Structure 1
Amino acid sequence: MNPLNHVAIIMDGNGRWGLKHKKSRNAGHKAGLNSVEKIIRASIKNNIKYLTLFAFSTENWKRPKKEINYLFNLLEIFLKNKINDLHKKNIKLKIIGIKNFSSKLNKLLIFSENKTKTNKKLQINLALNYGSKSELMNAFKQLQKTKKNLNEKNFIKYLQTRNIPDPDILIRTGNTHRLSNFLLWQIAYAEIFFVKKLWPDFNEKDYNKIIKKFKSIKRNFGNV
């Protein structure tokens, strides 16, 4: 049975769900928060130590300004209402990506990270303004500046996920079969599961089914 330490998720399909059910993309983003809470609870039940959620990519800035503002407002409300609860549950929050938002949101993100930094039950890595290609380029540039040898051990020290184990599983909802510039280095040996359901419809039963399947897979890592 394979040990499971880290799950990464591309939470795709919120906008389509909102248009289908409420005729509003923003309604889908709001509904998606319910799935986030369900998956956090299920991760704790399954003793998973790291959960990485792709919330906003560097490419998402191309979306309509009203939708972007709604997303960030939703995030602010979520953190203000839930950060104390996350802290009480011994959950750590870490932001990966570039904190290039409003000063208000930046302060809230930093506050949330600092408040929960010593927690051990589960670490949630929230990918905000994150793009894997820019992460890799920046890591390479930073390593070059140090004059250290260019090797894998030195390189990963400059990734935004340094000190975080690589994902064992990558899940993408929304019936889309691509990686969308997410953790391209880190998922080299992850088992990838593409799910037809839109993110707001993804539930604990779906999650547990994937976990069960993962644990039964024979993982060779290049061996036989």
Structure 2
Amino acid sequence: MTQLAEAARRVPLNRDRVLEAAVTLADEVGIESLSMRRLAQELGVVPMALYKHVANKEELLDGMVDTLVSEIDPPVPDAPWKSAVRLRVLSARRALLRHPWARPVIETRTTTTPAVLGYMDGFVGMFLGGGLSVDLTHHVMHALGSRMWGFTQEVFDDSAGRDAGGQQSMPVEVRTAMAMQMAESYPNLFRIALAAAHDDESVVGSGCDDQFEFEFVLDLLLDGFERLHEQDWTSR
């Protein structure tokens, strides 16, 4: 970040530069270590200089999500709606894999910025442009949920026993004892837990949400949406 600080002293500060620097810093040190004071140090300015461009830490995080949105590919013109939606979702997932901090930040946002509204509006436009009814599109957006951002909200959190880098920190003997207890108490859950090996390098966050699992569910949803559209489905 030394080069960034040197460049910041030469170029006047603006909101875009603050957000880009925050994204870079969070990529390097993690979202937990990102603070207004540390960001100011990296930019070579006093903390008060940042508040001319972002009112507080929450507005900074909102802006970082906006920066993430700008990295997501726009809808492909004239593509069939299923392909257009799939491509945009997978582009969002690639952005999240580049920025490990992004998922927890997205999940904790309470303010919907114009950039986020525009991103969501684009999805609605792809469905409506593909001929889906307003009624069906309303329910489709609820079903798609967090997947429009490129991740699945897991039912179970398997982050317990892992360090900040996502690696197992629990001793092998403890994990073995816990597995034996689970096998005895919850045999059905234990069977499916052993049924598949997941690619940890392609997981966004924690859980089983690796690339294969994510695309498996995404394709099931898109096929289901298409079938309902062809059947002229209505909620009324």
**What is the TM-score of this pair, normalised by structure 2?**
0.28
* Bigger strand share: 1
Larger Rg, first or second structure (1 or 2): 2
> Higher relative CO (CA 8 A, sep ≥ 6), structure 1 or 2?
1
* Bigger helix share: 2
